[in-house]
Structure 1
Amino acid sequence: MNRPLRFLTTIALGVAAILFSSCATTSTGGASGTAFSFDPPAKKPTNISAVKIHISTGAGRMYVTEGNEVLLATPCGVGTSATPTPKGNHRITSKTRHRRRQSNPGAGYPMTYWQSFYSAAYGMHWGFVKPYPSTHGCIRLPLNSARKIFDMTRVGTPVNVSTSQPWDSTIGAKLPRLDDGPLPNPPDSYMKSTKVFADQEQGKMWNFN
C-alpha cells in the first residue's frame, strides 16, 4: 500500500472509530428498540393501598413501588421544557381503561389505560414513546407497561414527579432506550375503531407486534 492510500485509510478508520464510540455512548441501558417490543417484568402488589408511582423527568423513567420494592420499572415519555410534566406530589384522580382524546387536534385518538394526576388534563397513558421530552405534559408509556401499571393502581395512588428518582442509576440505567419516532402512523380508520382497544388488551397493535 502506498503512503497516500495508507494515510487516507488511517483517517477513515479513525473517523469510523469516533463515530462508533459516539453512537455507543448515546444509548443508556440495554438494547434500543420500539416501545411495542418492551414487556417489563411486573410483580403483583400484596397491598394496593401501599403502591406508589415515581416519575423521573430527567431520566424518562417510571417506577412502581410497594414499600422499598420496585414492582415495575419502565421508560416513559415526559413533557417538554415548554410544556413540562408538573413536578411535585400528586395522586391518581381518575382511571379510564379505554379513553379517547376529547379535544382537537386529534379528537378520537386512543389514550388507552388513562390515569389522570395533578388535574384532569394530565395523565399517564399509552402513547408513542420517544427517548427525549416530547409530550404536552402527559406521561406516555409503552403499551405493556401502561396495561400492567393500570392494573396495579387505584384512584388515590400517590404519584411523585421529580427531576430524578433514587433508582435512576441502578434499575433505570438497565432499561432499554425506546424510540417510536421512526414508526409510521397507523391508519386513522384503525385508531378510531374499537379494534384498537381489543388489540391493546392483548398487548399488540396494528402491525407493530
Structure 2
Amino acid sequence: MNFRSLLTIALAVSTGALFTSCSNMSSGGGGLSAYQAYDVPTKLPKNPNNVRVKVSLSKQRTYVMEGSEVLMAMPVSVGGPGTPTPTGSFTIYNKEAKHRANTHGYAYSGSQVKQTFLAKKPAGWSFKGTPMPYWCEFKANYGFHTGWLKHTPCTHGCIRMHENLSPKFFNLVKIGTPVSIAYSQPEDATVGNIPLPPDSGPLPDYNGQMYVTDGYFSQHKSPKYN
C-alpha cells in the first residue's frame, strides 16, 4: 500500500485528528521526472507583516499576496466530497517543517515498511507517523502541507502543496499570517491559469524508507525566488 492509499483507509474512520490530504487540478505532461521538476515563480515580500493567503476551492489555487501583488500562485489540493476544506477567515497559528501525523503512518521492521494506523501496527515493529512536511496549521487538524497532487479533489480538508512549493510557502508565511478560504477568488481570473504538474495518481510512489526516515522532508528542489 503506498502513501496515497492512506486516503482509502481514512475514509472508513472518523477524521478526528487525521491530517490527511489529496488533490484536484487539470493538465500538465507526465512522468515522475516532470512532476519533480515542477515549480512556479515566487517573490519574497518587502514586508512579511503584509503577507496574506487566499485559497480558491473551485479553482484549487492558493495565492500568497502582499497587498495587491501576487508573490506566488500555486495549484493545491483541497477537500473532497464529504470532507470539505473549511471556508472563512483564519490565521496561521502553528508551523512545523517536520510535522508527522499522530495516529497514522508507517510501521517498520528492518527493511520492511507497512502503512498502517498506530493502533494496528504489528507487535514488535517500530512506528513513524505520516510525514507532512512544511505544516502550516490554520484551524485545529487543518493545515497546508506537502503531499502528492492529483487531478481530482480528495483531501480530508487539508490543503496539499507540491513538494517544491511547500518550502517556499513555509518561508513566505509566518505565525499570524491571515488566510482567506472561499469558493473563488478574484485572482482566479488574472493569475489562476498557471501550468500544472502531472497528475500524481499514475506515478510510482517513493520507497517506504523515504517516509520512515527524514527523506521525505527534503524531497524538494532548493527554493529559489525572483
TM-score by length of 2: 0.71
Aligned 8 A contact 1:98 1:111 in 2 = yes
Q: How many Å separate the matches in 2 of 1:174 and 1:44?
A: 19
1:181 aligns with 2:205: no
- Paired letter, 1:137: G
Q: How many Å separate the matches in 2 of 1:98 and 1:75?
A: 22
What does the per-residue CA deviation read over 1:13-46, in whole Å, with 9 as the maximum and x for residues that have no partner?
xxxxxxxxxxxxxx86x74456433211111001
Decide whether aligned partners of structure 1 residues 154 and 36 sit closer, same or farther in structure 2, where only a CA change above 3 A counts: same
Q: How many Å separate the matches in 1 of 2:196 and 2:209?
A: 31
- Paired letter, 2:90: H
What does the per-residue CA deviation read over 1:158-199, in whole Å, with 9 as the maximum and x for residues that have no partner?
001111111112211133254111112222222111233234
Q: How many Å separate the matches in 2 of 1:142 and 1:134?
A: 15
Written as runs of structure 1 = structure 2, the 5 A alignment for 1:1-209 is 31-33=28-30, 35-104=35-104, 105=116, 108-119=129-140, 121-176=141-196, 178-200=198-220, 202=222
What does the per-residue CA deviation read over 1:59-116, in whole Å, with 9 as the maximum and x for residues that have no partner?
1100000000000000000001200000000010100011112112565221000000
Structure 1's consecutive aligned runs of 4 or more residues displaced over 6 angstroms after TM superposition are none
SS in 2 for 1:154: coil
Aligned 8 A contact 2:28 2:199 in 1 = no
Quick check: 170-179 or 39-48, which moved more? 170-179
Decide whether aligned partners of structure 1 residues 131 and 79 sit closer, same or farther in structure 2, where only a CA change above 3 A counts: same
- Paired letter, 2:159: I
Instruction: Say what the alpha-carbon RMSD is for the aligned residues.
Output: 2.0
Structure with the higher helix share, 1 or 2: 1
TM-score by length of 1: 0.77
* Cross-structure match for 1:21: none
Structure with the higher strand share, 1 or 2: 2
For structure 2, the 5+ residue unaligned runs are: 1-24, 105-115, 118-127
Decide whether aligned partners of structure 1 residues 84 and 161 sit closer, same or farther in structure 2, where only a CA change above 3 A counts: same
Q: How many Å separate the matches in 2 of 1:141 and 1:42?
A: 14
SS in 2 for 1:143: coil
Q: Which protein shows a greater Rg? A: 1
Greater relative contact order: 1 or 2 (C-alpha under 8 angstroms, separation 6 or more)?
A: 2
Decide whether aligned partners of structure 1 residues 142 and 65 sit closer, same or farther in structure 2, where only a CA change above 3 A counts: same
- Paired letter, 1:78: V
For structure 1, the 5+ residue unaligned runs are: 1-26, 204-209
Aligned 8 A contact 2:163 2:219 in 1 = no
Q: How many Å separate the matches in 2 of 1:52 and 1:178?
A: 28
Q: How many positions carry a matched residue from both structures?
A: 175
SS in 1 for 2:165: helix
Aligned 8 A contact 1:127 1:143 in 2 = yes
